[in-house]
Amino acid sequence: MSTRKRLAAALVASVLLLAGCSFGKDDEKPAPPPAPDLTRAPGAVAVKKGPFKAGPVKAPKRGALFGAWIKPDELTHVGRLAAVDSLQADLGRSLTIVNTYRRFEQMVGTPSDKEFLARGATLMVSWATGDNRSILDGNHDDLIRKQARAIRKTKVPVMLRMRWEMDRPNLRATMWSGPDYIAAWKYVREIFRQERANNVSWVWCPTAEGFIRGDAPGFYPGDDQVDWTCVDVYAGERFEPIGTLMGPFLTWAAQRPKPIVIGEFGVARAWGSAGRAAWLRDARRTFKVNPQIKAITYFESNPEGNGPKKQFQLTGDPPAFKEFESMVKDPYFNP
Protein backbone atom coordinates (compact mmCIF):
# COMPACT_ATOMS: atom_id res chain seq x y z
CA MET A 1 0.00 0.00 0.00
CA SER A 2 1.30 3.43 -0.91
CA THR A 3 2.06 6.03 1.72
CA ARG A 4 -0.85 8.12 0.45
CA LYS A 5 -3.28 5.21 0.78
CA ARG A 6 -2.01 4.36 4.28
CA LEU A 7 -2.57 7.96 5.33
CA ALA A 8 -6.06 7.96 3.84
CA ALA A 9 -6.95 4.73 5.67
CA ALA A 10 -5.63 6.09 8.95
CA LEU A 11 -7.66 9.26 8.50
CA VAL A 12 -10.86 7.33 7.88
CA ALA A 13 -10.23 5.19 10.97
CA SER A 14 -9.66 8.30 13.07
CA VAL A 15 -12.89 9.90 11.88
CA LEU A 16 -14.86 6.76 12.65
CA LEU A 17 -13.31 6.54 16.10
CA LEU A 18 -14.12 10.16 16.90
CA ALA A 19 -17.69 9.69 15.66
CA GLY A 20 -18.11 6.72 17.96
CA CYS A 21 -18.48 4.36 15.02
CA SER A 22 -17.44 0.73 15.09
CA PHE A 23 -18.25 -2.54 13.45
CA GLY A 24 -19.62 -5.93 14.36
CA LYS A 25 -20.91 -6.51 17.88
CA ASP A 26 -19.67 -3.13 19.06
CA ASP A 27 -22.16 -1.50 16.67
CA GLU A 28 -25.07 -2.62 18.87
CA LYS A 29 -26.79 -0.14 21.15
CA PRO A 30 -25.67 -0.26 24.80
CA ALA A 31 -27.90 -2.27 27.11
CA PRO A 32 -30.36 -0.25 29.23
CA PRO A 33 -29.46 0.21 32.88
CA PRO A 34 -30.64 -2.58 35.17
CA ALA A 35 -33.99 -2.15 36.92
CA PRO A 36 -33.75 -0.99 40.53
CA ASP A 37 -33.77 -3.68 43.17
CA LEU A 38 -37.14 -3.25 44.84
CA THR A 39 -36.83 -6.52 46.77
CA ARG A 40 -34.05 -5.39 49.07
CA ALA A 41 -35.25 -4.35 52.53
CA PRO A 42 -35.42 -0.53 52.71
CA GLY A 43 -33.09 1.29 55.04
CA ALA A 44 -34.46 3.31 57.94
CA VAL A 45 -32.97 6.59 59.08
CA ALA A 46 -35.96 8.64 60.26
CA VAL A 47 -36.74 6.50 63.27
CA LYS A 48 -37.89 9.03 65.87
CA LYS A 49 -41.26 7.91 67.16
CA GLY A 50 -42.23 11.09 68.99
CA PRO A 51 -44.24 12.46 70.57
CA PHE A 52 -43.75 15.50 68.36
CA LYS A 53 -44.77 19.12 68.66
CA ALA A 54 -46.68 19.26 65.39
CA GLY A 55 -48.96 22.24 65.97
CA PRO A 56 -52.76 21.90 65.85
CA VAL A 57 -52.70 18.91 63.46
CA LYS A 58 -51.34 16.21 65.74
CA ALA A 59 -49.11 13.41 64.58
CA PRO A 60 -50.45 9.95 65.45
CA LYS A 61 -48.57 8.07 68.15
CA ARG A 62 -48.24 5.09 65.84
CA GLY A 63 -48.70 4.69 62.12
CA ALA A 64 -49.31 7.38 59.53
CA LEU A 65 -52.28 9.36 58.27
CA PHE A 66 -53.31 8.81 54.66
CA GLY A 67 -54.48 11.37 52.13
CA ALA A 68 -54.36 12.39 48.49
CA TRP A 69 -54.83 15.04 45.88
CA ILE A 70 -57.30 13.88 43.24
CA LYS A 71 -57.52 16.05 40.17
CA PRO A 72 -61.22 16.72 39.50
CA ASP A 73 -62.73 16.80 36.04
CA GLU A 74 -63.88 20.34 36.85
CA LEU A 75 -62.45 22.69 39.47
CA THR A 76 -65.88 23.28 41.01
CA HIS A 77 -67.56 22.34 44.26
CA VAL A 78 -69.32 19.41 42.59
CA GLY A 79 -66.19 18.39 40.69
CA ARG A 80 -63.96 18.37 43.77
CA LEU A 81 -66.45 16.33 45.80
CA ALA A 82 -66.98 13.86 42.97
CA ALA A 83 -63.23 13.30 42.57
CA VAL A 84 -62.69 12.56 46.24
CA ASP A 85 -65.86 10.46 46.53
CA SER A 86 -64.87 8.36 43.52
CA LEU A 87 -61.42 7.53 44.88
CA GLN A 88 -62.80 6.79 48.35
CA ALA A 89 -65.38 4.44 46.85
CA ASP A 90 -62.70 2.63 44.83
CA LEU A 91 -60.45 2.32 47.89
CA GLY A 92 -63.22 1.40 50.31
CA ARG A 93 -62.04 3.96 52.86
CA SER A 94 -62.09 7.68 53.55
CA LEU A 95 -59.18 10.06 53.17
CA THR A 96 -57.83 11.38 56.44
CA ILE A 97 -56.12 14.27 54.62
CA VAL A 98 -57.44 16.06 51.55
CA ASN A 99 -54.71 17.98 49.72
CA THR A 100 -55.95 21.06 47.87
CA TYR A 101 -54.10 23.66 45.80
CA ARG A 102 -54.69 27.41 45.96
CA ARG A 103 -53.26 30.34 44.07
CA PHE A 104 -52.14 33.29 46.18
CA GLU A 105 -55.49 35.08 45.87
CA GLN A 106 -57.70 32.01 46.37
CA MET A 107 -59.17 31.77 49.85
CA VAL A 108 -59.72 28.72 52.02
CA GLY A 109 -63.31 28.07 53.02
CA THR A 110 -64.92 27.10 49.74
CA PRO A 111 -68.08 24.94 49.81
CA SER A 112 -66.03 21.83 49.07
CA ASP A 113 -63.55 22.75 51.84
CA LYS A 114 -66.44 23.00 54.27
CA GLU A 115 -67.87 19.69 53.11
CA PHE A 116 -64.58 17.84 53.55
CA LEU A 117 -64.13 19.37 57.00
CA ALA A 118 -67.69 18.45 57.97
CA ARG A 119 -66.86 14.85 57.11
CA GLY A 120 -63.93 14.93 59.51
CA ALA A 121 -61.07 15.18 57.00
CA THR A 122 -58.05 17.42 57.56
CA LEU A 123 -57.30 19.97 54.86
CA MET A 124 -53.72 20.31 53.65
CA VAL A 125 -53.71 23.62 51.78
CA SER A 126 -50.89 23.94 49.23
CA TRP A 127 -50.76 27.73 48.94
CA ALA A 128 -48.86 29.26 46.02
CA THR A 129 -47.73 32.51 47.60
CA GLY A 130 -46.11 35.04 45.28
CA ASP A 131 -42.82 36.87 44.90
CA ASN A 132 -41.00 36.78 48.24
CA ARG A 133 -39.53 40.27 47.95
CA SER A 134 -42.92 41.65 47.03
CA ILE A 135 -44.32 40.02 50.17
CA LEU A 136 -41.57 41.57 52.27
CA ASP A 137 -42.30 44.98 50.74
CA GLY A 138 -45.80 44.72 52.21
CA ASN A 139 -47.57 44.60 48.84
CA HIS A 140 -49.79 41.67 49.82
CA ASP A 141 -50.54 42.33 53.48
CA ASP A 142 -54.31 42.66 52.94
CA LEU A 143 -54.43 39.41 50.98
CA ILE A 144 -52.41 37.53 53.59
CA ARG A 145 -54.61 38.86 56.38
CA LYS A 146 -57.71 37.82 54.47
CA GLN A 147 -56.36 34.29 54.09
CA ALA A 148 -55.41 34.13 57.77
CA ARG A 149 -58.95 35.13 58.76
CA ALA A 150 -60.46 32.64 56.31
CA ILE A 151 -58.45 29.77 57.79
CA ARG A 152 -59.21 30.92 61.34
CA LYS A 153 -62.94 30.81 60.52
CA THR A 154 -62.76 27.10 59.72
CA LYS A 155 -62.31 26.59 63.48
CA VAL A 156 -60.49 23.29 62.91
CA PRO A 157 -56.80 22.39 62.51
CA VAL A 158 -55.45 22.95 58.99
CA MET A 159 -52.09 22.00 57.46
CA LEU A 160 -50.60 24.84 55.39
CA ARG A 161 -47.87 24.21 52.81
CA MET A 162 -46.71 27.75 52.13
CA ARG A 163 -45.20 27.80 48.62
CA TRP A 164 -44.38 24.12 48.51
CA GLU A 165 -41.44 23.05 46.30
CA MET A 166 -39.87 26.47 46.80
CA ASP A 167 -36.50 24.98 45.88
CA ARG A 168 -37.45 24.24 42.27
CA PRO A 169 -35.08 25.99 39.86
CA ASN A 170 -38.01 27.26 37.77
CA LEU A 171 -39.33 29.19 40.80
CA ARG A 172 -36.09 31.02 41.48
CA ALA A 173 -37.36 34.20 39.76
CA THR A 174 -40.00 34.64 42.51
CA MET A 175 -38.33 32.84 45.40
CA TRP A 176 -35.03 34.72 44.78
CA SER A 177 -33.02 32.81 47.40
CA GLY A 178 -33.25 30.71 50.53
CA PRO A 179 -32.89 33.76 52.84
CA ASP A 180 -35.64 35.59 50.90
CA TYR A 181 -37.99 32.64 51.27
CA ILE A 182 -37.22 32.30 54.98
CA ALA A 183 -37.84 36.00 55.59
CA ALA A 184 -41.15 35.84 53.69
CA TRP A 185 -42.21 32.72 55.64
CA LYS A 186 -41.60 34.50 58.94
CA TYR A 187 -43.37 37.62 57.67
CA VAL A 188 -46.48 35.66 56.64
CA ARG A 189 -46.51 33.64 59.85
CA GLU A 190 -46.36 36.83 61.91
CA ILE A 191 -49.43 38.18 60.11
CA PHE A 192 -51.25 34.92 60.85
CA ARG A 193 -50.30 35.33 64.51
CA GLN A 194 -51.66 38.87 64.54
CA GLU A 195 -54.92 37.61 63.02
CA ARG A 196 -55.11 34.84 65.67
CA ALA A 197 -55.07 32.10 63.05
CA ASN A 198 -53.79 29.65 65.63
CA ASN A 199 -55.33 26.58 64.01
CA VAL A 200 -52.51 26.24 61.44
CA SER A 201 -49.82 23.57 61.36
CA TRP A 202 -47.02 25.02 59.22
CA VAL A 203 -45.68 22.48 56.72
CA TRP A 204 -42.31 23.07 55.01
CA CYS A 205 -42.21 21.03 51.81
CA PRO A 206 -39.33 21.10 49.29
CA THR A 207 -38.57 18.47 46.65
CA ALA A 208 -36.56 15.28 46.96
CA GLU A 209 -34.45 16.55 44.05
CA GLY A 210 -33.57 19.65 46.04
CA PHE A 211 -31.97 17.46 48.68
CA ILE A 212 -30.15 15.43 46.05
CA ARG A 213 -28.77 18.69 44.63
CA GLY A 214 -28.08 19.95 48.16
CA ASP A 215 -29.81 23.34 47.93
CA ALA A 216 -33.15 22.57 49.63
CA PRO A 217 -31.90 22.87 53.25
CA GLY A 218 -31.01 26.51 52.57
CA PHE A 219 -34.74 27.28 52.44
CA TYR A 220 -35.52 25.86 55.89
CA PRO A 221 -37.05 28.54 58.19
CA GLY A 222 -36.00 26.80 61.42
CA ASP A 223 -37.36 24.40 64.01
CA ASP A 224 -39.15 27.25 65.79
CA GLN A 225 -41.03 28.13 62.58
CA VAL A 226 -41.98 24.72 61.19
CA ASP A 227 -44.44 22.17 62.60
CA TRP A 228 -44.09 19.38 60.02
CA THR A 229 -41.19 18.72 57.66
CA CYS A 230 -42.25 17.43 54.26
CA VAL A 231 -41.00 16.26 50.89
CA ASP A 232 -42.48 15.69 47.41
CA VAL A 233 -41.02 12.58 45.79
CA TYR A 234 -41.77 10.91 42.45
CA ALA A 235 -40.59 7.98 40.38
CA GLY A 236 -40.93 10.00 37.22
CA GLU A 237 -37.78 10.66 35.25
CA ARG A 238 -35.86 8.32 37.55
CA PHE A 239 -37.30 4.89 38.35
CA GLU A 240 -35.58 4.21 41.63
CA PRO A 241 -36.85 2.98 45.02
CA ILE A 242 -38.55 5.73 46.99
CA GLY A 243 -36.02 5.28 49.80
CA THR A 244 -33.23 6.11 47.36
CA LEU A 245 -35.06 9.09 45.86
CA MET A 246 -35.80 10.69 49.22
CA GLY A 247 -32.80 9.30 51.09
CA PRO A 248 -30.96 12.64 51.43
CA PHE A 249 -34.15 14.25 52.74
CA LEU A 250 -34.75 11.50 55.29
CA THR A 251 -31.19 11.74 56.53
CA TRP A 252 -31.67 15.49 57.01
CA ALA A 253 -35.16 15.22 58.54
CA ALA A 254 -34.00 12.59 61.02
CA GLN A 255 -31.99 15.35 62.70
CA ARG A 256 -35.08 17.54 63.16
CA PRO A 257 -37.53 17.17 66.06
CA LYS A 258 -40.48 17.18 63.66
CA PRO A 259 -42.89 14.64 62.21
CA ILE A 260 -42.66 14.05 58.46
CA VAL A 261 -45.45 14.23 55.89
CA ILE A 262 -44.89 12.98 52.37
CA GLY A 263 -46.68 15.90 50.72
CA GLU A 264 -46.86 14.31 47.27
CA PHE A 265 -45.68 10.95 46.02
CA GLY A 266 -46.33 9.10 42.81
CA VAL A 267 -45.04 6.60 40.28
CA ALA A 268 -45.39 7.36 36.57
CA ARG A 269 -47.33 5.15 34.21
CA ALA A 270 -44.29 5.07 31.92
CA TRP A 271 -42.80 2.38 34.16
CA GLY A 272 -45.56 -0.14 33.43
CA SER A 273 -48.18 -1.72 35.65
CA ALA A 274 -45.88 -4.33 37.19
CA GLY A 275 -43.16 -1.77 37.85
CA ARG A 276 -45.62 0.65 39.43
CA ALA A 277 -47.07 -2.06 41.67
CA ALA A 278 -43.59 -3.10 42.81
CA TRP A 279 -42.62 0.52 43.48
CA LEU A 280 -45.73 1.07 45.60
CA ARG A 281 -45.10 -2.15 47.52
CA ASP A 282 -41.60 -0.92 48.29
CA ALA A 283 -42.97 2.52 49.27
CA ARG A 284 -45.28 0.90 51.78
CA ARG A 285 -42.36 -0.91 53.44
CA THR A 286 -40.22 2.22 53.39
CA PHE A 287 -42.88 4.35 55.08
CA LYS A 288 -43.38 1.76 57.80
CA VAL A 289 -39.69 1.33 58.69
CA ASN A 290 -39.29 5.11 59.03
CA PRO A 291 -41.74 5.79 61.89
CA GLN A 292 -40.99 9.52 61.82
CA ILE A 293 -43.15 9.58 58.66
CA LYS A 294 -46.54 10.36 60.17
CA ALA A 295 -48.58 11.18 57.07
CA ILE A 296 -48.54 10.33 53.34
CA THR A 297 -50.53 11.91 50.49
CA TYR A 298 -50.62 10.45 46.99
CA PHE A 299 -50.72 12.64 43.86
CA GLU A 300 -53.60 11.02 41.97
CA SER A 301 -53.37 13.10 38.83
CA ASN A 302 -52.34 13.15 35.19
CA PRO A 303 -51.32 16.78 34.66
CA GLU A 304 -52.25 18.10 31.23
CA GLY A 305 -49.44 18.59 28.79
CA ASN A 306 -47.07 16.20 30.54
CA GLY A 307 -45.55 13.14 28.95
CA PRO A 308 -45.93 9.59 30.33
CA LYS A 309 -43.10 10.10 32.83
CA LYS A 310 -45.22 12.72 34.62
CA GLN A 311 -48.57 10.94 34.64
CA PHE A 312 -49.26 9.49 38.07
CA GLN A 313 -52.94 8.54 38.23
CA LEU A 314 -53.37 4.98 39.47
CA THR A 315 -57.08 4.68 38.67
CA GLY A 316 -57.41 2.73 35.44
CA ASP A 317 -54.26 0.66 36.07
CA PRO A 318 -55.63 -2.40 37.95
CA PRO A 319 -52.33 -4.02 39.07
CA ALA A 320 -50.92 -0.74 40.38
CA PHE A 321 -54.22 0.32 41.93
CA LYS A 322 -54.60 -3.03 43.68
CA GLU A 323 -51.20 -2.53 45.34
CA PHE A 324 -52.18 1.03 46.29
CA GLU A 325 -55.44 -0.23 47.78
CA SER A 326 -53.55 -2.84 49.78
CA MET A 327 -51.26 -0.12 51.14
CA VAL A 328 -53.95 2.24 52.30
CA LYS A 329 -56.02 -0.52 53.87
CA ASP A 330 -53.04 -1.56 55.98
CA PRO A 331 -53.98 -0.79 59.62
CA TYR A 332 -50.70 1.14 59.88
CA PHE A 333 -52.20 3.83 57.66
CA ASN A 334 -55.43 3.88 59.66
CA PRO A 335 -54.19 5.02 63.07
Of 178, 224, 197, 233, the closest CA to residue 53 belongs to 224
* Residues 303, 312: Cα–Cα separation, whole Å: 8
28, 115, 165, 304: the active-site residue: 165
**Which helix or strand (DSSP H or E) is residue 260 part of?**
strand 260-267
One-letter identity of residue 333: F
For residue 161, the number of C-alpha atoms closer than 13 Å in the C-beta half-sphere is: 27
- Residue 195 bears catalytic tag: no
* Residues 219, 148: Cα–Cα separation, whole Å: 22
Bond prior to 36 in cis (omega within 30° of 0): no
Strand partners, 233: 265
28, 195, 264, 304: the active-site residue: 264
Query: Quick check: helix, strand or coil at residue 242?
Result: helix
- Residue 165 bears catalytic tag: yes
Do the beta carbons of residue 157 and residue 57 sit within 8 Å? yes
**Count of Cβ atoms closer than 10 Å to residue 270 Cβ:** 16
Bond prior to 72 in cis (omega within 30° of 0): no
Do the beta carbons of residue 136 and residue 183 sit within 8 Å? yes
* Residues 262, 264: Cα–Cα separation, whole Å: 6
Catalytic machinery residues: 165, 264
